[in-house]
A and B are shown apart, each in its own frame.
Chain A
């Protein structure tokens, strides 16, 4: 589904990603972990096409297409979704209005008929159950006045409505208390099918207790420093990132251990 080869990316001339290689297949959950500043969020934003990041080398093939050639909205209509670490407020635009527009853009792209507001309301009601969201959120302005947890749930609601093929969750766990974390993670798990894939970007292992990854990739200094199964996350939790980023302290780790 997704093949990232030797990806380099920069913001304001500072190179953040320095050669990322990653392959994601259908039905898989990949976790991207790493210390602050390692390039985790940059990777997520580059995949979504954030205009501030410049890809300086490498390629990203998504479903046989060159993803980097597509505009952000084209990527989205092709099924790439990013759950934002800091969801954006759109004053005066209701959640339902926004979601229907986004949903219908996707329908149009697939050559399907658009849903009218009433049909969409039914669909939205159904999908809102995934993240246990109350109907009152649908008439409120997008993310305006939402608590941190509500914003994150709203992201997963959007994912539930848009049914992406590839979902990139950027620090979806940050700022969530344990109950909200359970709801959000539960929602994500309900949305996983054998035909889609999820990349979970997170600093902490605790989210991975709920969304269990098939693979864990640890970023350090803009490169993947280590890869493994879900047990790697647990190891990180006990040893800390120093174990990977500063081998002299931790002793045995090899920066190029990833293979």
Chain B
């Protein structure tokens, strides 16, 4: 088969649309839109204030179109539907009351929600367009004191916790997309791990965009109290549409003394077709604050989807001896664009950070790593190690590395290593000579290249990520 034939047979298997009646608000964004969302969601006054403050600030901000290494046509923010929810009962006493069509959708995505079929060892919050439709294992987790619920429920049931931490890591005026999210976010997940508790299972949120006209603006807030531990996973898919959809999420993590948060993402939003038509604009702000001493936050991301990825999961290392980690695989093919990386801000003494970034570019795609390591004056003995490797497949793609290093403390050490390589014809021939097909050979080489990152993923995710990379690269060599 020729490359072109292989490419055309490549399928995005999550590209289907669920036919379901939705409760949508009219297009456009004004203060009234925000009031309408608040009303729909029955939110208290303080949420309205939070949102309006963000919105007013957003109006004064400009879209960050110039510094990232990405290009896209102007987004008409007045042409987006900011709230779209499948019609169903407002409060669900049990999963039995969830629309069977929604359950079927998630089952098709490999996320069974009904009690008999629930994934063992993983609690799931399923978010469909603007709302969370179900959260599994909620009761079981509650017995351990762990709160895991939709953001809507969190605002209703745990207002004090939400008030305390919402916007504490990513302020409403942080950046254009974070401000937009703060103004209109409709749902998401809330996790709270109390002092001394090791969360007994993996927590996860599965995001599904179904509506072609709506954006998805979700919010995730994870708080790990003193000495607690949680591993959180995030997955995302969307149907194939010719138009682009905007996904602007905000994720905030807070780790207190001796707490540890491990956050893993496998991002597989629809990437558009070979010509670059359609696909998700994934403009996401993710930040964790190691607020307490000896705390640790690890970001692991495998970014394979989206027409454009713009995200920099970061760590603010405030507590002494705290640790920030960023392990990333970003793969772009066809016309995809990614400008992704991290920020490690060292504030506390003896803080440490590790950045391992693997960028793979194929087709005509453009893949950039952008990372900031900043050591503040009081961060005595801070250390950073950064390794950025890029791999190019074919000769029409591009890979860039933009490291920013700002050191204001002389007792610190910062190391940066970077490499760029290509899959060589000799490597492919060697593997093929042992009976391995060209596609499998490419997958094997790529998986070897990404090994340091995959090792950080929970087992099931690692298997999924390995499979996904193979699928995404099918036919890109030859």
Contact = CB atoms under 8 A, between A and B. Distances in A.
Interface of A: 48-52, 71-73, 75-77, 81-82, 84, 87-88, 90-93, 97-98, 101-102, 105-106, 109, 141, 158, 162
Interface of B: 424-427, 429-438, 440-441, 444-445, 447-452
* 4 tightest Cβ-Cβ pairs between the two chains A and B: A92-B448, A93-B448, A76-B435, A102-B434
A235 B449 CA distance: 49
A88 B427 contact: yes
A109 B435 CA distance: 9
Nearest to A87: B430
B445 A90 contact: yes
Contact of B435 (A50, A52, A77, A87): A77
B421 to A, nearest CB: 9
Contacts of B436: 73, 76, 101-102, 105
Contacts of A106: 435
A91 B433 CA distance: 18
Given A50-B429, A77-B435, A92-B450, 18 more contacts: A51-B425, A51-B429, A71-B438, A72-B429, A72-B432, A72-B433, A81-B433, A81-B434, A84-B430, A88-B427, A88-B429, A92-B447, A92-B449, A93-B444, A102-B431, A102-B436, A105-B434, A105-B437
Contacts of B445: 90, 93
A95 to B, nearest CB: 11
A122 B18 CA distance: 48
A98 B448 CA distance: 10
Contact of A73 (B426, B427, B437): B437
Given A92-B451, A101-B444, A48 B434 contact: no
Nearest to A86: B426
Contacts of A87: 430
Nearest to A76: B435
A77 B447 CA distance: 23
10 contacts: A50-B429, A76-B434, A76-B436, A81-B434, A92-B451, A93-B448, A97-B444, A101-B444, A102-B436, A105-B435
A141 B430 contact: no
A102 B431 CA distance: 8
Contacts of A73: 432-433, 435-438, 441
A93 B249 CA distance: 35
Contacts, number: 79
Nearest to A168: B433
B425 A52 contact: yes
A90 B427 contact: yes
Contact of B444 (A48, A50, A52, A90): A90
A92 B437 CA distance: 19
A92 B452 CA distance: 8
Q: Which of B424, B425, B430 has the most CB of A within 10 A?
A: B430
Q: Which of A49, A72, A76, A98 has the most CB of B within 10 A?
A: A72
A97 B434 CA distance: 13
A76 B433 contact: yes
B457 to A, nearest CB: 15
A223 to B, nearest CB: 26
A112 B369 CA distance: 45
Contacts of B427: 88, 90
A98 B425 contact: no
A97 B448 CA distance: 10
Nearest to B426: A88
Contacts of A77: 435
Given A88-B427, A90-B427, A92-B451, A98 B444 contact: yes
Contacts of B452: 92
B448 A76 contact: no
A44 to B, nearest CB: 11
A230 B326 CA distance: 61
Contacts of B426: 88
A51 B449 CA distance: 24
A73 B438 CA distance: 8
Nearest to B427: A88
B448 to A, nearest CB: 3
B434 A90 contact: no
A48 B433 contact: yes
Contacts of A81: 433-434
A162 B444 contact: no
A162 B430 CA distance: 14
A194 B432 CA distance: 27
Q: Which of B436, B437, B450 has the most CB of A within 10 A?
A: B436
Contacts of A101: 436, 440, 444
Contacts of B424: 88
A166 to B, nearest CB: 12
A93 B447 contact: yes
A49 B431 CA distance: 12
